[in-house]
A and B are shown apart, each in its own frame.
Chain A
Amino acid sequence: MVNPLYMFILFLAFGFLFAILDKMGRKVTLTLFYGVLLANFIIPLYWIWGIFSGTTSGTEISTAGFMAPISINLRFGFEEIIIVLLVNFLGLLSAIYLSDKFKKSSINGMILFMVLLMSIDGLVMTRDIFNIFVFLEILSIATYSLIAIEKNRDSLSAGFKYMLAGGIASAFILIGIIFLYRFTGTLNLDDMIGKSHLLVGKAGFLSLYLFLFAILLELKPFPANGWALDVYQAVNEGLVAIIAVASSAAIFFVLYKFLPLVPSEYYGYLGGVGLVTFFFSNLIGLKQKNPNRLLGYSSIAQMGLLLATLSILKSFGSNDLIIFQIVGGLFINHFLAKAALFWLVGIVKKNDISAWTNLRTNPSLLIFLGVFILALSGLPPFPGFWAKWDFVMILASKGSYFSIIGILLASLFEITYLFRWLGFAMKKTDSTEKIDLPISKEFPIAISAIALLVFSVVTTYFFKEFSFIQILPLVGLVLMYLFGYLPVKVKGFVAIVIISTYAIKLYSLVSGLELFFAAILVVGSLVQIIATMYRSGKREGFYPFLVMMIIAIGNLVIAKTYLSFFFQWELMTIASYFLIMKGKEVTSAGLKYIIFSMGAAYFIMTGFAFAPVIPAINLSLINTIGMKHIGILSLSLLSIGFLIKIGSLGFHVWVPDTYNKADDDTTSYLSSIVSKAGIFGFFLLAVAIVKNASLDTELLLTIIGWIGVMTAIIASIMAAFQENVKKLIAYSSIGQLGYIILALSAFNHIGWLAALNLTLNHMLFKLMIFLAIAGVIMRTKTTNMYEMGGLIKKMPWSYISVLMGIIGLSGVPPLAGFGTKWMLYNALIERGWYLQAGAALFASGIAFLYLFRLIYTVFLGQAKPEHKDIKAAPLWLLIPQYIAIAVVMLISMKPILLLKPLSEMISVYIPTNLGWVGDKLITVNGYWNGSQVMNVTMIIFGIPFLWMLFITRKVQKVKQFNIVFAAERPDRPETTHFAHNMYAHYNKAMGFLVTPKLAIKFWDRVSEWISSSGATLRNFYSGNGQTYLLQIILYFIILYSIMGGK
């Protein structure tokens, strides 16, 4: 093995030599420079190889021929090797990124860069506390020299502030070292740990505190970190990647080394410092527009999170492997993603995140941005996801409620600003401005992204032992990307093949309720893929995420553990987010979607965290959940999560915008399929409740029931007042989902049967309506219903589809919709929820208003002159609609075909109290014979129909506008079509229920309040060095008095 000291020697030797060698020309020094960096990357790599192959387990280096504690010793164990490897890797990539700078600027830049890296390596390896001080000083000097090399006003002032803070830290650390040496008589860390019993009393505490505070200060705790932010903003991005990421990593590692000296009762305070930093940095980050500063906040926040996880886990006494997995996961995530994001900022050269649209001219950069932002947001499959999950699970098991709330809320802030940035880059108004992109700048970014992905795959596949089918959504994503160059029709076909294969595989894995949901979710999706082929062109990036989303949703059904369920859930969220982002003007709607989805996800995660671990038997969650007693806290958290996802009253604000702005066929997916994932979640809960008969869930179910029915009422009223056709259907969708959870929460056999039927029906009816309307929007090029009208003549097939859809949704017999409504009322009366039944009837009455508005204003009345030549909807859109119609007709004529098997599935959980006489279904209170109703209706409809056909056979067809009233021809079709503000009278009577828009106001206030508090807190950072110093001193005093000497 190569002696690691060679790394120092190489850095130092060439550092000195470069001043001379540069005379031979810059090419020579540059070659040597990169040679040194490469060599120093290979050395730790070689050691890693040694460790994995078992030939070494690291080494301990003593200097000057003495053994420790006499000599200064360096350790090169597994942890050190990993950090040094990462630091030198980052150093190499940064240097490549900075190559054109190094070509031009003075040789000092290169020398300082090497000295900086050397000091970082030294900090990591040394076991001597005075040596730590020395390396810290070298680090500081190298850093502010490099900062000042830019020679502009900002960087000079930032460098000066850095010096001030660094000076204070040095002073503290030095005094601390003096005290530590005084009490223990040694400077060697290991020796000192052995003598830590000597560090007692106020004085012992003070000595530790001084050292610790200096290290903490270098980690930039909130609010004593203004100086660091100015540095991040002012300095060249290649350099900042080193300062913010590599230096911080080394200092964090110093803290890690120092922790065994600190009595464990202080770990909690350190965790507090970390949490406060994580929370407030992310909060303030919300207000940032400048990408460098935004990343600065994010970096500081991430370091805070690392500090928090490390200290909290230590205080719990968790074992090293767990600490390694969690802290290591977060570390790698931050390390690779953050550095690369800083580089990206340097390439794009835009000081405002809303101007990042030029990134779109280079798709690979956009993909990298997406990868890094997903990673930083803690989404799967990136390491941060696993770490966050494990950490929350541990926190929950220890009952650390505040820590969980703090971490998740702050994560939500972070996601908000990161995704706002991503959203701007993807969707803000187009820019054709090309990005100047030399390979030297793209290379480091690409390598980071690849490293991150490789690392993710390794964690997912090996450490978490996820099976192939569980990572299939990602495989599907990649697979479909390979087909990116093909036209839409071919890609659609490929997607159909992939999903069909998956569906066949899935079919062999499911039974009972799983089978039902798998069929709705996957087969329903499969059919709709046909519709997606109505677009022309390539639709790049659409099919990969579509395939990913469908498989993830299918996998939800067969997930066997909470983690695997949550993993698929998050994949579904990511995929659906990117599908939504394909729409036009979707920036704010997409952001809303991701914030609410992630909020839901966090509730679900904590819900699982507080649930008992399920027995490890090879069955899907729906069979195993509730086998152990599940608590009401867990159930409530999960319920809230699923309520947000299905957009129940209060949480519905994201739905109309998202559905409106997404592509029309995507909207159909969102409404008919994705929302059902939330319903499946509710079924999981329901099963868990059923299996825990002792649990008192009366209150929970009553609340959910009322939420369901109020959602149905308010959403129906809102739907009636919409002018935008997609928003109308969106509100309708919200309301229908309200019925489903109402039926489910009634918690009797017929209630569940109703819920399952409503789920299927809603999928079919919304598919028909949304796809039909997609065709209409495509042809009319508007979403305003008052700009449509009279389309029945031009688009009769779409009309029939919408007609069937609204008959079904309204519950008018003889279609299947009636059966579901009837079962719902049965369930509610049986349960004794009479007022809810009345309210549900009220809601279904209002539904007629919006359904009539939908079909009348779009298809009936007068056509606009500009629509006189439009064609029928494309066949691609019609095929899935008519498949759905066929299914609807089948289950309407023979409801027994569906109801009997469903009832059997349910009777596993709730014994049946239904009776069957032929086709007649008999409940506790009522009866219904769907087939007979259908037959009677067909006869009574058929006879007058034939009769009229016979007597009116000689008629003349007239044009739509060929009408007369008051002995005069109406002026123009526009003035003759009754559509705008159709329910003005209803608004006068009932508008008071919805015009206050309480939910929207509430969420507006919340977001306003949060961002204002972020803005207020930002005032801490005055930009004045003296103020920063004062803050540091005050922080020192306050933290001291809080921790106190014990």
Chain B
Amino acid sequence: MTTQIFIKIGYACISIAVMVAYGLLTGGVMARIRARVYGRYGAPVWQPFLDIFKNLNKRTAISHGMMFYLGPIFRFAGGLGTYLFIPAVFGSVLFANFSGAGDIFLVMYFIFFGQLGMALGAGEGGHPYSGIAIARGLAQMSAFEVPFALAVISIVVQYDTFSITEIVAAQQGGILHWTMFTNPLATIAAFIALLGMNMQSPFDIVIAPQEIPIGPPTEFPSQFLSMLQTNRGLFLVAKLILFMNLFYGGATSVWILFLKTFIIYLANLFIGVSFPRYRIEQAIKFFLKYPTIIGIIAIILMAMK
């Protein structure tokens, strides 16, 4: 029993390390693609690694208090947990993670763990901009969660299970078995939600990357920042894997995983660089209109089957 637990923990460590590396690299590649679209040269693809390394070696001289200090830890643990409760590669013991602990709803709710902790940590920093950004982020989140939740319910109805592994299993046997083709409406609703989740344009006012940088990431220095950056890589991958599992047939090997998630993110970016930005209330209204209606129709269609 004890050995099994240690093997499991060992596997989890490897799994995390691979995905962090992959996530950071993807982030770098995407940043470069984005730069090229905008007519810039762009930073090297390994820039995220450099950033983390640099920040890790900076000093931390000031503490704003316990919650401030715990914020990034919450965030990182949230990223870790989200990833660890998803079975990353179908049929692989190494990448099965702790998916036996809970189903799709556990993952959906665990996403909030990091966000909540982070919000509170940044809140203690005392800078009003973090509060403003979090208020925006939460408001937007409460809206994009709706089409996402509807899409999830739709496929739960479709496959009659909450288990991510079983959902992936049901999609095996050819590309036409993917949810993307068997339940296209749910996929569309969820894909739009993913834009919000990844804070791609037109839903990027939350972090307002172009003007005054606002929000939690600007609040945290040095090692805290490096932790957040590490998480950014991992959390990104976790979300992409989740989508891949739910809608795009999952992956039977790490390589397929890399390929599929890369394409999903690329599609995301494609839209991200093409659209101007919504104000927060516009974004909320948008999410609660078309994607929500699509999601409801997706549920009704599946329920009628």
Q: Which residues of A contact B (CB under 8 A)?
A: 790, 792-793, 796, 799, 803, 806-807, 810-813, 818, 821-822, 825-826, 829, 832, 834-835, 837-838, 841-842, 845-846, 848-849, 852-853, 855-856, 860-862, 920, 925-929, 932-933, 936-937, 939-941, 944-945, 948, 951-952, 954-958, 960-961, 963, 965, 970, 976-979, 982-983, 985-986, 988-990
What are the residues of chain A within 8 A of B54 when measuring CB–CB?
none
| Chain B residue at minimal CB-CB distance from A966 | B212
Can you list 12 A-B contacts (CB < 8 A)?
A812-B113, A841-B149, A852-B135, A856-B134, A860-B124, A927-B103, A932-B101, A945-B73, A948-B223, A955-B61, A956-B62, A983-B139
Q: Are B67 and A792 in contact (CB under 8 A)?
A: yes
CB distance from A872 to the nearest CB of B (A): 15
Chain A CB within 8 A of B270 CB? no
What are the residues of chain A within 8 A of B104 when measuring CB–CB?
926
What are the residues of chain B within 8 A of A963 when measuring CB–CB?
125-127
Chain A CB within 8 A of B7 CB? no
CB distance from B121 to the nearest CB of A (A): 9
In B47-89, the 8 Å CB interface with A consists of 60-67, 69-70, 72-74, 76-77, 80-81, 84-85
Complex CA gap A806/B116 in Å reads 10
Complex CA gap A957/B124 in Å reads 13
Asked, given contacts A838-B299, A986-B284, whether A812 binds B63 with beta carbons under 8 Å apart, the answer is: no
Complex CA gap A958/B126 in Å reads 11
Q: Are A940 and B84 in contact (CB under 8 A)?
A: yes
Interface-facing stretch out of B17-25, B34-42, B155-163, B250-258:
B155-163
Q: Are B139 and A838 in contact (CB under 8 A)?
A: no
In B236-277, the 8 Å CB interface with A consists of none
Identify 10 new A-B residue pairs, CB closer than 8 A, beyond the known A927-B162, A983-B139.
A813-B102, A842-B142, A845-B146, A848-B141, A852-B119, A862-B126, A920-B100, A932-B100, A954-B61, A958-B63
Closest 5 CB pairs of A and B: A926-B162, A860-B123, A978-B131, A841-B149, A989-B284
Q: Are B284 and A807 in contact (CB under 8 A)?
A: no
CB distance from B28 to the nearest CB of A (A): 23
What are the residues of chain A within 8 A of B288 when measuring CB–CB?
989-990
Asked, given contacts A812-B113, A855-B120, A861-B131, whether A829 binds B63 with beta carbons under 8 Å apart, the answer is: no
| Chain A residue at minimal CB-CB distance from B160 | A925
Indicate with 1 or 0, residue by residue over B124-159, a CB within 8 angstroms of chain A CB atoms: 111111011011101101110110011001101100
What are the residues of chain B within 8 A of A821 when measuring CB–CB?
105, 109
Complex CA gap A825/B109 in Å reads 12
Give the interface centre of A926, A932, A945 by most chain B CB atoms within 10 Å.
A926
What are the residues of chain B within 8 A of A979 when measuring CB–CB?
131
What are the residues of chain A within 8 A of B141 when measuring CB–CB?
845, 848
Q: Are B77 and A937 in contact (CB under 8 A)?
A: yes
Asked, given contacts A792-B65, A832-B303, A948-B73, whether A837 binds B153 with beta carbons under 8 Å apart, the answer is: yes
Q: Are B120 and A849 in contact (CB under 8 A)?
A: no
Selected contact of A813 from candidates B109, B126, B149, B295, CB within 8 Å = B109
Complex CA gap A829/B152 in Å reads 11
Q: Are B73 and A957 in contact (CB under 8 A)?
A: no
Complex CA gap A310/B22 in Å reads 87
Selected contact of A965 from candidates B65, B119, B127, CB within 8 Å = B127
Asked, given contacts A825-B105, A842-B146, whether A944 binds B119 with beta carbons under 8 Å apart, the answer is: no
What are the residues of chain B within 8 A of A945 when measuring CB–CB?
70, 73
By the criterion of a CB under 8 Å from any partner CB, how many residues of chain B are at the interface?
79
What are the residues of chain B within 8 A of A982 when measuring CB–CB?
131, 135
Q: Are B100 and A929 in contact (CB under 8 A)?
A: yes
Complex CA gap A610/B116 in Å reads 50
| Chain B residue at minimal CB-CB distance from A840 | B149
What are the residues of chain A within 8 A of B156 when measuring CB–CB?
829, 925
Q: Are B284 and A958 in contact (CB under 8 A)?
A: no
Q: Are B150 and A838 in contact (CB under 8 A)?
A: yes
Selected contact of A955 from candidates B63, B77, B127, CB within 8 Å = B63
Q: Are A952 and B69 in contact (CB under 8 A)?
A: yes
Interface of B is mostly: helix
Q: Are B125 and A834 in contact (CB under 8 A)?
A: no
Q: Are A976 and B128 in contact (CB under 8 A)?
A: yes
CB distance from B17 to the nearest CB of A (A): 13
Chain A CB within 8 A of B94 CB? no
CB distance from A845 to the nearest CB of B (A): 4
Q: Are B120 and A856 in contact (CB under 8 A)?
A: yes
Q: Are A936 and B157 in contact (CB under 8 A)?
A: no
| Chain A residue at minimal CB-CB distance from B129 | A965
What are the residues of chain A within 8 A of B105 when measuring CB–CB?
821-822, 825, 926
Give the interface centre of B80, B105, B160, B282 by most chain A CB atoms within 10 Å.
B105
Selected contact of B126 from candidates A790, A796, A932, A988, CB within 8 Å = A790
What are the residues of chain B within 8 A of A957 when measuring CB–CB?
62-63, 65
What are the residues of chain A within 8 A of B280 when measuring CB–CB?
985-986, 989
CB distance from A759 to the nearest CB of B (A): 20
Q: Are A961 and B106 in contact (CB under 8 A)?
A: no
What are the residues of chain B within 8 A of A976 when measuring CB–CB?
126-128
Chain A CB within 8 A of B110 CB? yes
Chain A CB within 8 A of B11 CB? no
Q: Are A933 and B101 in contact (CB under 8 A)?
A: yes
Complex CA gap A952/B58 in Å reads 11
CB distance from A590 to the nearest CB of B (A): 35
Q: Are A848 and B116 in contact (CB under 8 A)?
A: yes
Complex CA gap A955/B128 in Å reads 23
Selected contact of A937 from candidates B81, B163, B284, B296, CB within 8 Å = B81
Complex CA gap A14/B35 in Å reads 114
Q: Are B161 and A926 in contact (CB under 8 A)?
A: yes
Complex CA gap A989/B299 in Å reads 25
Complex CA gap A965/B123 in Å reads 15
Q: Are B149 and A838 in contact (CB under 8 A)?
A: yes
CB distance from A313 to the nearest CB of B (A): 54
Complex CA gap A965/B138 in Å reads 24
What are the residues of chain B within 8 A of A937 when measuring CB–CB?
77, 81, 113
Complex CA gap A806/B67 in Å reads 15
Complex CA gap A415/B43 in Å reads 76
CB distance from A392 to the nearest CB of B (A): 44
Complex CA gap A255/B142 in Å reads 68
CB distance from A1009 to the nearest CB of B (A): 35
Asked, given contacts A813-B113, A985-B280, whether A928 binds B126 with beta carbons under 8 Å apart, the answer is: no
Q: Are B101 and A793 in contact (CB under 8 A)?
A: no
Q: Are B162 and A856 in contact (CB under 8 A)?
A: no
What are the residues of chain A within 8 A of B67 when measuring CB–CB?
792, 799, 860
Asked, given contacts A829-B153, A925-B161, A989-B285, whether A978 binds B128 with beta carbons under 8 Å apart, the answer is: yes
Asked, given contacts A812-B112, A928-B102, A933-B106, whether A860 binds B128 with beta carbons under 8 Å apart, the answer is: no
Complex CA gap A718/B233 in Å reads 36
What are the residues of chain A within 8 A of B281 when measuring CB–CB?
985-986, 988-989
Q: Are A834 and B303 in contact (CB under 8 A)?
A: yes
What are the residues of chain B within 8 A of A965 when measuring CB–CB?
127, 129
Asked, given contacts A842-B149, A945-B73, whether A860 binds B81 with beta carbons under 8 Å apart, the answer is: no
Q: Are B123 and A941 in contact (CB under 8 A)?
A: no
Give the interface centre of B141, B279, B281, B302 by most chain A CB atoms within 10 Å.
B281
Complex CA gap A484/B116 in Å reads 47
Q: Are B102 and A929 in contact (CB under 8 A)?
A: yes
What are the residues of chain A within 8 A of B153 when measuring CB–CB?
829, 834, 837-838, 841
CB distance from A429 to the nearest CB of B (A): 39
Complex CA gap A954/B223 in Å reads 13
Selected contact of B132 from candidates A796, A920, A978, CB within 8 Å = A978
What are the residues of chain B within 8 A of A990 when measuring CB–CB?
284, 288
Q: Are A928 and B101 in contact (CB under 8 A)?
A: yes
Complex CA gap A976/B130 in Å reads 11
What are the residues of chain A within 8 A of B131 when measuring CB–CB?
856, 860-861, 978-979, 982
Complex CA gap A37/B60 in Å reads 93
Complex CA gap A812/B107 in Å reads 10
CB distance from B188 to the nearest CB of A (A): 16
What are the residues of chain A within 8 A of B103 when measuring CB–CB?
925-928
| Chain A residue at minimal CB-CB distance from B212 | A966
Asked, given contacts A928-B102, A978-B131, whether A838 binds B120 with beta carbons under 8 Å apart, the answer is: no
